[in-house]
Chain A
Amino acid sequence: MSGNGDILRVDGLTMRFGGIIAVNELSFAAERGKITALIGPNGAGKTTVFNCITGFYRPSAGEISLTHPGGESFRLDKLNDFRITKIAKVARTFQNIRLFAGMTALENLMVAQHNKLMLASGLTFLGLIGAPSWRAAEKQAIERATFWLERIGLKDRADDAAGNLPYGDQRRLEIARAMCTDPVLLCLDEPAAGLNARESAALSELLLSIRDDHATSVLLIEHDMSVVMEISDAIVVLDYGVKIAEGTPQQIRDDQRVIAAYLGVEDEEVEAVEQELGL
């Protein structure tokens, strides 16, 4: 592997819900400055892994550690949900879009800069008296939001309610909102779901630019293989909560177990695969 090092390491991650093991002894790493995709058939446990990484679930066992470019390390399995974004700088989007529908696109991006603005407003007190330092910080935040609106081509809809935007625009706005929290790792849960071919291409371009221009590593769950194969630097394949393959897009494309997981296999092959997996 290149000298960048890993930004995210998942070690022996297990997540149980009652008797169901959604994720079993999963270990993988995501390299800094790369786009890592997490793929697998429906119900493979991809979103559960995401929820563990972003603190929405507390893992039953295992370690998740994140290393900042400065060398600072965070144990994500020990941090509270909002602190993962606030301190460890991991941002996420959701499979079913979760924008603030009744707020404008611009307001959505302002809310994302909450922690920075909260400090700038002197925990509200400086803001209440309208201190110049607060005004400057607010102006800066609006500029930053405008930059991202321009970047996703929604500047002329900045003052429209987020819930009124077309589906594809909402997807991009959610990514822009996540980017406004200044993340080092951006976790996207099916960003291309429901997009048409043209929108998917625009999304690929956006994600590549996030990786290259904004020094943000990307972890991606996606079913749209054209997007995955085009932009991913590395792919991890999950099936029934177990990692069945890991590698570059080319390696994954040719992997027999991956093909079997997606397309099914002949009966006699099942035993062979199971033996190989130690099931």
Chain B
Amino acid sequence: MAKIAHAAAATAAKPGVDVGFIFKKALISALVALVLFSLMIGVRTEAGPEGQLIYWTRFGDLAGMVGAVFVGSIVVELLRRWWGPVDTPRLMPEGARKTLSVAGRAVAPILLIFTILVPVIFYDQRYILDLGILVLTYVMLGWGLNIVVGLAGLLDLGYVAFYAVGAYSYALLATNFGLSFWICLPLAGILAAFWGVLLGFPVLRLRGDYLAIVTLAFGEIIRLVIINWQSLTGGPNGISGIPRPTLFGIPLVAGENGLAAKLGIAFSPSQRLVFLFYLILALALLTNWATIRLRRLPIGRAWEALREDEVACRALGINTTTTKLTAFATGAMFGGFAGAFFATRQGFISPESFTFQESALVLAIVVLGGMGSQLGVALAALTLIGGFELFRGLDQFRMLVFGLSMVLLMVWRPRGLIGHRAPTVFLERNQAISSDLVKEGHG
């Protein structure tokens, strides 16, 4: 072990390819694989017809496995040196690295253009459109939670509560008072923000683990209230018949009054999906725009300063109470918007949609994306939600493969997909700040 560490230190010291080290490491891995697999794969045992033990050898398979480990180890080591941390020597040629960095900057615009074109390309594929809507909903939730966790550094495990408040606000206002989606949307946001402030007050003095526990409890309280307040929320039966959104009063249905008839085109059920897709895209982009804007305003800088050092904030005359509450309220508001959208998309909501698992998923998206990074959160939502679907063919191994890939990703990039922080203001050079310096916040 110490020898390997020593060898690693030696390679780190001198840049360039160290074939010997990589080869040696691969050899050690292969040896370990040989020892492990010789019994697991090399010898196959089974109970015979009379209960006796019969065995046969599979040396071909064993050789294949060991060979795979050997080659795999070399590949992994090479990859690690290409994409690894800054201080590891780079093997990739300068030209290729430049191309990659240009490509890196182009990711966000390309992703946005592709997203806008999704309904055009996949117009008839209901599955893709549904998946797209789902991914965008989580992108929006991730961006909303990013304000609280990524910027202000307040660990919130009960974010789903605001999602639920938004969904139920819209569902109740629409079914009881017949208010339209466009009136309910801001109301749902305001109500969720109000609950955000309500949660904020008791947790102002809490930090870290304690804050996480209280926010977790808050999420559960909201869910339990929804389940038990049958007269208002319908309890476990949920609320059904939630009106679908309209395009400024024109419903997207077949028939005389529908949008298709007014435009003089044939009605197709896809039209409503496309509309929902662009609706959630617009809402998500609004969240993104607001966050980018807020980061450059004093309130956003105060959030980040709060994450870095709360004591220093107070010494600079910043009211940390209102700063925390605004972070909770702003994050909750976007959660409320997303909730209202969720209700109108589903047409039916029940407490089952707002379990702790949702909070955990959204938090995983934020952490995986790189706390505070907008692009990272979007990529993480795509990876997580898309990953669920991608591995669908693996049946019972789906969660296993999925969990394993999560673990590997966090080992690879412990600070998330996009680990560095972009400054909010600069004099001459707009250079990213290494994640080693950026704090994660302590509640």
Across-interface contacts of B424 in A (CB, < 8 A): 107, 110
Given A81-B314, A85-B316, A115-B317: A106 touches B297 (CB 8 Å cut-off): no
Residues of chain B contacted by A74 (CB below 8 angstroms): none
Q: How far is the CA of A113 from the CA of B439 in the complex (A)?
A: 21
Q: Which residues of A (151-182) have their CB < 8 Å from a CB of B?
A: 155, 158-161, 163-164, 177-178, 181
> Cβ of B299 and Cβ of A118 under 8 Å apart?
yes
Give the residue of A54, A110, A115, A146 whose beta carbon is less than 8 angstroms from that of B315. A54
B302 — which chain A residues lie within 8 A by C-beta?
111, 114
Cβ contact of B312, chosen from A98, A124, A155, cutoff 8 A: A98
CB-CB under 8 A for A100 and B318, given A114-B298, A128-B290:
no
Of the stretches B35-43, B358-366, B392-400, B426-434, the one at the interface is: B426-434
B244 in the interface (beta carbon within 8 A): no
- For A158, give its contact among B305, B426, B437 (CB under 8 Å): B426
A204 and B424 alpha carbons, distance in the complex (Å): 32
Do B433 and A118 touch across chains, with their CB atoms under 8 A apart? no
Q: How far is the CB of B311 from chain A (nearest CB, A)?
A: 6
Q: Which of B418-443 contact A (CB under 8 A)?
A: 421, 423-431, 433-434, 437-439
Instruction: For B293, list chain A residues within 8 Å (CB).
Output: 127-128
Which B residue sits closest to A134, measured CB to CB?
B297
Count how many chain A residues have C-beta atoms less than 8 Å from C-beta atoms of the other chain: 44
Contact A128 B298 (CB under 8 A): no
Q: Interface residues of B toward A: which range?
A: 35 or more
| Residues of A close to B421: CB separation below 8 A | 102
- Asked if A193 is at the interface of the complex by the 8 Å CB criterion, the answer is no
In the complex, identify which listed stretch (A86-94, A214-222, A241-249) lies at the interface while the others stay far away.
Answer: A86-94
Contact of B304 among A94, A100, A124, A127 (CB under 8 A): A100
Are B437 and A161 closer than 8 Å at their CB atoms? yes
Residue in B290, B425, B429, B439 whose CB lies within 8 Å of A142: B425
B residues 272-296 touching A (CB-CB < 8 Å): 290, 293-294
When C-beta atoms are compared, the residue in chain B nearest to A92 turns out to be B315
> Please, how many angstroms separate the alpha-carbon atoms of A113 and B426 in the complex?
16
| Closest Cβ neighbor of A83 among chain B residues | B317
Task: For chain B, residues 292 to 332, give those with C-beta under 8 angstroms from any C-beta of chain A.
Answer: 293-294, 297-299, 301-302, 304-305, 308-309, 311-320, 326
Minimum Cβ distance to chain B for residue A243 (Å): 25
**Residue contact A114 to B318, C-beta cutoff 8 Å:** yes
* Shortest distance between the CB of A255 and any CB in chain B (Å): 33
Are B423 and A107 closer than 8 Å at their CB atoms?
A: yes
Q: Is the CB of A82 within 8 A of B319?
A: yes
**How far apart are the CA atoms of A112 and B317 in the complex, in Å?**
8
Q: How far is the CA of A73 from the CA of B403 in the complex (A)?
A: 62
- List 7 contacting pairs A-B, 8 Å CB cutoff, sorted by A: A81-B315, A82-B313, A106-B427, A114-B301, A124-B299, A128-B293, A161-B433
3 residue pairs, one from A and one from B, having the closest CB atoms: A85-B317, A102-B438, A86-B317
Starting from the known contacts A81-B315, A104-B433, A115-B318, 11 additional A-B residue pairs (CB-CB under 8 Å) come to A94-B311, A98-B309, A102-B304, A102-B439, A111-B316, A121-B299, A124-B299, A127-B298, A128-B294, A155-B427, A164-B434
